[in-house]
Amino acid sequence: MKETLSIIKENIAKVIGIILVVVISSIVMSSFTAILKATKARRPEEQKRKRTLDKVLISIVRYTVIIIDAVVILFILGVNVIPALAGLGIAGLVLGLGAQKLITDFISGLFIIIEHHFDVGDIIDVGGFKGEVIDLGLKTTKVRNWQGQVKILANSEVSNFINCSLNNTVFSTSFDVSYQADVEKAMKVVNEQLPLRLKNDENIIVMPKCNGVSGLTARSITINVVATAKNET
């Protein structure tokens, strides 16, 4: 009877220890996440960069906490972790030799983040698939297009891409007037009226302006209009 009680007490202590490890880990993760969310970017344009770094840091801390938890729980259960860690190091070396693709993805992910190739929220075009970066990790990048389709790319595959969010977009349009019309007057009206009609549009950086005659057809004269807007608007 005493032996049974002793075993129960010993196991209860281990269970309580494991529960404490899990609870403390959860508190650490929650606190770290809360601190990151409470930290505001200094400027609005830095928001995307902050979101990207937050996701990566949370991912790194989560994996670190899981590894530490595993070692501590093994210690609580009475497992000699020193030989296990030594064996893990050898096994890691063997796995590393066979997991070069995974290591390449991690290194590529680090370079994407460090060299600031793109952030979460940026619009990129990878191999003809254009969409918003919704997640960026050390191993993979997720891009969602306007149809809601999500493409998951290994970071080592994100090599030839276009970042559509780095600069403002210069766009042009055109309109036709007849040969009987006063071209100079038409251009003057457009240059006066378009800025008035678009003055409250926050997406316009440089107001539309006639760029001159861009072509001639059998029945009309084509006039080109150029403006600058925020990217992807």
Q: 97 pLDDT exceeds 60?
A: no
44-62 pLDDT tens trace: 667 777 888 887 788 778 8
- What is residue 120's predicted lDDT score, i.e. its pLDDT? 87
Report the candidate in 105, 145, 147 with the shortest Cα–Cα distance to residue 125: 145
Q: How confident is the model at residue 67 (pLDDT cuts 50, 70, 90)?
A: confident
- Return the percentage of the chain with pLDDT > 70, whole number: 84
**Average pLDDT over the chain, rounded to whole?**
80
Range 189-214 average pLDDT? 86
The structure tokens listed for 145 are 């297009």
35-45 pLDDT tens trace: 877 777 666 66
Report the candidate in 147, 137, 141 with the shortest Cα–Cα distance to residue 161: 141
Buried b (16+ CB within 10 A) or exposed e, 88-102: eeeeeeeeeeeeeee
- What is residue 174's predicted lDDT score, i.e. its pLDDT? 87
Q: 122 pLDDT exceeds 80?
A: yes
Asked whether the beta carbons of 127 and 166 are under 8 A apart, the reply is: no
Task: Please tell me which of 43-52, 92-101, 151-160 the model is most confident about, judged by mean pLDDT.
Answer: 151-160
Range 79-96 average pLDDT? 58
Asked whether the beta carbons of 130 and 123 are under 8 A apart, the reply is: yes
Q: How confident is the model at residue 150 (pLDDT cuts 50, 70, 90)?
A: very high
Q: 73 pLDDT exceeds 90?
A: no
Q: What's the pTM value of the predicted model, to 2 decimals?
A: 0.58
Asked whether the beta carbons of 208 and 190 are under 8 A apart, the reply is: yes
174-183 pLDDT tens trace: 889 888 888 8
Range 7-13 average pLDDT? 67
124-141 pLDDT tens trace: 999 889 999 998 887 889
CA end-to-end span of the chain: 76
Q: 81 pLDDT exceeds 80?
A: no
- What is residue 6's predicted lDDT score, i.e. its pLDDT? 62
